[in-house]
Structure 1
Amino acid sequence: MAFVPAVGYQPMYNPTTPFRNPIYGGLRPGMSVWIQGTVPHHVSKFAVNLSCGQFDGCDIAFHFNPRFDGKNKVVCNTFQGGSWGSEERRKDNFPFHKGTHFDMVIMVNPGSYQVNVNGMPFYEYRHRVPMERVQCVHVEGDVTIQNVTVVGGGAPMGGPAYPGVPTPLPNLPVMGGPVYSPPVPYYGNIPEGVSPKRTFIVRGYIPPGGQKFHINFKSAATNEIALHFNVRLNENAVVRNSFIRGSWGNEERAMAFNPFIPGQYFDISIRIGNGRYKVFVNGQQFCEYFHRMTNLPMVNTLEIGGDIVLSLVQF
């Protein structure tokens, strides 16, 4: 079962640094670049570059450079025509800490990049280079990356974005648009219900001490649950079940690995198939769950709750 990303969702998992990840079709307002990773204890600095090419020496529209030099700061700049521009520095409320995870999103606005770290606004950087020129995200330095995801982008014409992954149609908007940092519990209406080939994305963080969380696909009319995906950290289990006609069915608990760890981020993709839900966690196949509620248009509510902090919900 191959991982198929949602249209407008370009993920890359566990790359080694330095690396370059293409942004097909350039940037447009409403898109975002999402980076989740860990700052190692030996860190001195790292950088995230929104570059205008995939080679050394190309223009860099946005250079975001955390520096751990005893006077912790983030330096932002633009490299254009072979030289750096004037630096913009921020020293207060430094959001990166040695030995800890971070969640960073660069949101593309018409006049600027808005950088949020760990769910909080951190810095706004005005465009010096047209955003449409940006062709890739480049990460280098002392950092461990869990995933880099371009949200709202297209895929290359004539070839797959990733080996073994079918190419989605280019430059289509994300279905429904991403919702950033929604409150928990989360409730979302699914217009016309779930349907085959539709993918739901849930990204978040399990705080230390977290015990459990759930994702429910429900019918608003009957309050039945077509898929109950329940992560129970205290049991080292991920339970799948359905609540139909007033009672729970048989639990499914089989799993080859448990990817959910307190203090770490996760990325869940749930793709609707003709006969089953296909669940991927951090880009890896996790499980399949055959439909027990077969009237899919009736499944029109997404509910998320429990001991998590949500970063993004997209469908």
Structure 2
Amino acid sequence: MAFMPPPGYQPYYNPTLPYNREIPGGLRQGMSIYIQGVANDHMKRFTVNFTLPGGDIAFHFNPRFDGWDKVVFNTKQGGNWGKEEKKKSMPFRKGEAFELVFIVTGEHYKVIVNGSPFYEYGHRIPIQMVTHLQVDGDLQLQSINFLGGGPPPPGQVPMTIPAHPGPGPVYRQSPYELPTMEGPPVFNPPVPFWGRIQGGLTPRKTIVIKGLVTHQAKSITINFKVAQSEDVALHINPRLSEGAVVRNSYLGGKWGKEERNATFNPFTRGQYFDLSIRCGHDRFKVFANGQHVFDYPHRFPAIQRVDTVEIKGDLSLSYVQI
């Protein structure tokens, strides 16, 4: 089963190094680039480059473990490096998972590491000239996600992403069958989180949740609710102590029968997850990190009355889009 990303949300899972790909639709103001990975145990350095055709680099991000742990920032223009900017602080830890976010504003690249603002690097080259993202060095990549920034150029249609990306054709999907995300994204919201689904759930609507399971996590809850009645159409309950992802519905004041079968469990203590929950005509389809986890047939027939997403438990959130 293929994962189909909504417009404005383009993920790549488990990419190999060196990573060098075109930025979907080009770099645009308002775009965010999420990089999740693990620093090698013997990490010395890694680089993230926002590049132009011909080899110039608009933004060079370079953490260095060299005895004077620091992060170096620079621009390469006309084949020549500019003046370095440095921050003598190392937000990455050898052997540990990290989430690195670049938010593109009109004035600078805003760098966020593990949910905390780290640096702002002013533009030296116009962002519309940037075409590619490069990542290489002493790390393992889990995912790279390109989020938002307005619509891609006309005629560019998002493509289905296989659960395990590899060689072979990628098939385009009809625009009328594409999933949708209609609300603005929320970055680093507090937990517990409550979000309103404008107009209620409808077929093809997709909710994306990115977060980190805490190191001592016991339980996480994600509920799709009817605010007026407190009915829960879909209850997703990862139970870390049991190693299970439990699903259920709470209708008319009663819990139904639990479902536990899943392709795999994407929730691990101390690890990031990337959850995509799509409402279909007769079921929810849930993907994590680009792989199908489970389907959940609708038990609540008036699905358009579901108007609230609730997230709570032992996690931190980095991104929610409804």
| TM-score normalised by the chain length of structure 1 | 0.93
* Candidates 109, 112, 119, aligned match of 2:105: 109
The more displaced of 152-161 and 99-108 is: 152-161
- Asked if 1:74 is matched to 2:71, the reply is yes
C-alpha contact (below 8 Å) 1:34/1:105 kept by paired residues: yes
Question: How far is 1:174 from its partner?
Answer: 5.8
User: What do the CA deviations read for 1:210-265 (whole angstroms, capped 9, x no partner)?
Assistant: 01101100001111000000000111111110000110111100123222110110
**Contact 1:155 / 1:168 at 8 angstroms: preserved in 2?**
no
Shift of 1:175: 2.6
Q: Among 271, 279, 282, which residue is 1:272 paired with?
A: 279
Which runs of structure 2 are paired with 1:5-20 in the superposition (5 Å)?
Answer: 5-20=5-20
CA contact (8 A) 1:4 1:166 kept: no
Q: 1:176 aligns with which of 171, 183, 199?
A: 183
List alignment gaps of at least 5 residues for structure 1: none
Please identify runs of 4+ aligned residues in structure 1 that moved more than 4 A. Answer: 153-156, 158-163
The secondary structure found in structure 1 opposite 2:207 is strand
Counterpart amino acid of 1:264?
Q
Pick the aligned partner of 2:136 from 130, 135, 140.
140
Indicate yes or no: 2:241 matched with 1:245. no
How many residue pairs match? The answer is 308
Within 5 Å, which residues of 2 pair with 1:1-315?
A: 1-53=1-53, 57-92=54-89, 94-153=90-149, 154=151, 157=155, 161=159, 162=161, 164=170, 166=172, 175-315=182-322
Let me know the Cα RMSD of the aligned residues: 1.7
Change (3 A) 1:167 1:73: farther
Structure-2 separation of matches of 1:266 and 1:220: 27
TM-score of the pair, normalised by structure 2: 0.91
SS at match of 1:263: coil
> What is the alpha-carbon distance in structure 2 between the residues aligned to residue 183 and residue 235 of structure 1?
26
Deviates more, 1:67-76 or 1:18-27: 18-27
What amino acid is aligned across from residue 147 of structure 2 in structure 1?
V
Could you tell me how far 1:160 is from its partner in structure 2? 5.4
Percent pairwise identity: 50
Contact 2:218 2:240 in 1 (8 A): yes
Q: 1:233 to 1:108 in 2, by over 3 A?
A: same
Deviations 1:40-60 (A, max 9, x none): 11211100111124xxx5221
User: Residue 7 of structure 1 contacts residue 168 of structure 1 at CA under 8 Å; is this kept in 2?
Assistant: no
User: Which moved further from structure 2: 302-311 or 18-27?
Assistant: 18-27
Gaps of 5+ in 2: 162-168
Q: 1:134 deviation in Å? A: 1.5
Measure, in 1, the Cα distance between the counterparts of 2:222 and 2:243: 17
Distance (Å, rounded) in 2 between the aligned partners of 1:95 and 1:168: 42
Superposed displacement of residue 128, structure 1: 0.6
**Greater alpha carbon shift after TM alignment, 105-114 vs 174-183:** 174-183
Return closer, same or farther for 1:3/1:79 CA change in 2, 3 Å cut-off: same
Match of 2:166 in 1: none
CA displacement, residues 175-213 of structure 1 (integer Å, 9 cap, x when unaligned)? 312111100000001111011111110110011110110
